[in-house]
């Protein structure tokens, strides 16, 4: 989690530099559209679908002390993914103009489409690098090593910072694209020393098509792949819709999404990544009661952290965006665009966080079908909601890109509810009363925190932005902490005891 906090800080610096140089200009819309397709093929071939199948299978080998089998599986999957991503990227680079014209940005003019295609060809270098790097993350996590994989995103952002500072002055938006490629290389490189130190490490030049464990990964991955495809289809549809909205809409939803996912990454993804190998080991030993207990405790902690983060972002969205980004090419209108999208994205922060945890519990139980079916249904609703809310917002005179953010939040909330209900049935209980009690305590503390922030905003209206933002965050955090301690929330007391134990020998 500490490494993810660092990643967010470095990512924030990257975003500040990008907005300072490019703001919400059309070239930034072109870059964001170009970035969508490489992300799509990476996610389909080597993203969440593969990780959700690979880590539980690899953990099974490690639990049985079969290191040869573990490295044979790791080598085969890495070779297969690298080969497939490389071939797909080459073909996509050849067809880049057609992909942009007919799929990614049909509403762009010919010059903007040509720019998007050129940027996409550069960015298509990254998926093969990320494919290998993502598998190294899974290998290290399965060995209960989390620091170096968690530092990898910081290296990616660092590459983009180098691109903005050193490449963009002479290369323009292409400097940012080459910085992203550099960042992908750093993302991989930072993990290699940790992999080389693993016990029994070996590489086997095979695709393992006859290896039962490889087929098991494929079997588990197949349904999850459908879910990832539906999610990526939503991103493509959002790209198409946003490209036809007022200038800056596409960039605004990308920036707002990046800000909303900052607390989600620190809270939910960090915990989920650490929890998956534990869930998988418990499931491999047949300890379903332990899985149920671990999941319930994890959900309480995630809700306790994500609920105040959601309300805090909603209330402080305008000063936060202005303080972080409003300089250079990023003007007051850009702030309004991003803050509007952030309002609706932040409403779904809790749901996004809970889904991260519950989905991984399903993967640990070697059930990739259930989260896929639920996720596919939710994302199908997201598609319908995107068209509906974008049109509705425009009809009532609101900026339509906010409707795209609201559609995502509502669909994810429905996905969360469905997954919780089905997981409760699967584990024959989920400690619901304890989770509800913790959620109610978090809600009461969040209400008190929100009242304090609103009072602060009314008082500090004319103060410098850095005072408004820092004062709101500090006051809100203090009120929330005091409330959870006053209500005797067990996680808060446990955290305090853990900190004291580490400080005092």
pLDDT for the residue 249: 82
* 166, pLDDT greater than 70: yes
* 182, pLDDT greater than 60: yes
pLDDT in tens, 233-262: 666 677 677 767 777 787 888 889 889 988
Q: Which helix (H) or strand (E) holds 29?
A: helix 26-46
pLDDT for the residue 124: 97
What tokens appear for 247 in the block?
Answer: 């200038």
Closest among 295, 307, 333, 319 to 19, alpha carbons compared = 333
What tokens appear for 150 in the block?
Answer: 């968690």
- What is the rounded average pLDDT for all residues in the chain? 87
pLDDT for the residue 366: 81
Indicate whether this model's pTM tops 0.75: no
* 18, pLDDT greater than 60: yes
pLDDT for the residue 64: 79
Q: What torsion, rounded to 10 degrees, do the Cα atoms 219, 220, 226, 230 define?
A: -170
pLDDT for the residue 115: 96
* 49, pLDDT greater than 60: no
**Residue ranges of the alpha helices (H) in 396-431?**
401-426
Are 239 and 250 spatial neighbours (Cβ–Cβ below 8 Å)?
yes
CA–CA dist 264, 349 (Å, integer): 7
CA–CA dist 413, 374 (Å, integer): 11
205 in helix, strand or coil? coil
CB atoms within 10 A of CB 276: 25
CA–CA dist 403, 391 (Å, integer): 8
pLDDT for the residue 3: 79
Q: What percent of the chain has pLDDT over 90?
A: 43
* 232, pLDDT greater than 70: no
CA–CA dist 21, 2 (Å, integer): 29
CB atoms within 10 A of CB 46: 26
* 446, pLDDT greater than 60: yes
* 224, pLDDT greater than 70: no
CA–CA dist 136, 188 (Å, integer): 8
pLDDT in tens, 82-118: 998 999 999 999 999 999 998 888 888 899 999 999 9
User: In b/e form, how buried is each residue of 48-59, taking b as 16+ CB within 10 angstroms?
Assistant: bbbbbbbbbbbb
Closest among 149, 157, 162, 153 to 193, alpha carbons compared = 149
Residues in CB range of 497: below 8 A, 6 or more apart: none
């Amino acid at each position: 989690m500490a490494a993810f906090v660092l990643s967010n800080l470095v990512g924030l610096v990257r975003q500040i530099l990008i907005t300072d140089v490019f703001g919400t200009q059309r070239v930034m819309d072109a870059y964001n559209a170009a970035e969508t397709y490489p992300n799509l093929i990476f996610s389909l071939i080597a993203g969440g679908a593969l990780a959700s199948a690979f880590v539980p299978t690899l953990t099974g080998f490690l639990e049985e002390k079969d290191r040869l089998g573990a490295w044979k599986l790791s080598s085969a999957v890495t070779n297969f993914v690298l080969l497939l991503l490389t071939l797909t990227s080459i073909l996509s680079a050849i067809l880049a103009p057609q992909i942009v014209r007919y799929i990614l940005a049909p509403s762009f003019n010919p010059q903007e489409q040509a720019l998007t295609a050129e940027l996409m060809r550069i960015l298509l270098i990254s998926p093969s690098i990320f494919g290998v790097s993502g598998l190294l993350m899974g290998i290290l996590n399965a060995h209960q090593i989390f620091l170096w994989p968690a530092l990898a995103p910081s290296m990616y952002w660092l590459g983009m910072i180098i691109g903005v500072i050193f490449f963009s002055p002479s290369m323009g938006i292409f400097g940012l694209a080459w910085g992203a490629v550099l960042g992908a290389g750093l993302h991989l490189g930072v993990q290699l020393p940790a992999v080389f130190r693993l016990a029994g490490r070996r590489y086997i030049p095979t695709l393992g098509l006859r290896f039962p464990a490889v087929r098991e990964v494929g079997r588990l991955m197949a349904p999850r792949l459908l879910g990832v495809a539906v999610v990526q289809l939503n991103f493509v549809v959002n790209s198409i819709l946003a490209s036809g909205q007022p200038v800056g809409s596409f960039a605004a939803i990308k920036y707002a999404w990046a800000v909303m996912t900052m607390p989600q990454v620190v809270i939910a993804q960090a915990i989920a990544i650490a929890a998956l190998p534990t869930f998988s080991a418990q499931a491999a030993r047949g300890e379903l009661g332990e899985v149920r207990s671990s999941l319930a405790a994890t959900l309480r902690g995630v809700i306790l952290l994500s609920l105040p983060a959601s309300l805090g972002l909603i209330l402080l969205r305008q000063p936060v965006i202005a303080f972080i980004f409003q300089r250079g090419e990023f003007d007051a209108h850009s702030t309004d665009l991003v803050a509007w999208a952030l309002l609706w994205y932040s409403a779904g922060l809790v749901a996004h966080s809970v889904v991260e945890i519950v989905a991984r519990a399903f993967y640990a139980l070697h059930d990739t079908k259930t989260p896929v079916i639920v996720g596919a249904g939710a994302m199908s609703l997201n598609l319908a909601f995107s068209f509906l809310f974008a049109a509705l917002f425009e009809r009532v005179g609101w900026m339509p890109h906010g409707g795209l953010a609201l559609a995502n939040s509502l669909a994810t909330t429905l996905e969360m509810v469905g997954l919780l209900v089905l997981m409760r049935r699967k584990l024959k209980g989920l400690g619901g009363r304890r989770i509800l009690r913790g959620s109610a305590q978090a809600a009461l503390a969040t209400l008190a925190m929100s009242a304090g922030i609103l009072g602060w905003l009314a008082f500090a209206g004319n103060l410098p932005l850095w005072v408004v933002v820092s004062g709101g965050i500090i006051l809100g955090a203090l009120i929330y902490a005091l409330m959870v301690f006053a209500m005797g929330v067990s996680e808060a007391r446990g955290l305090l005891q853990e900190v004291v134990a580490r400080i005092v020998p």
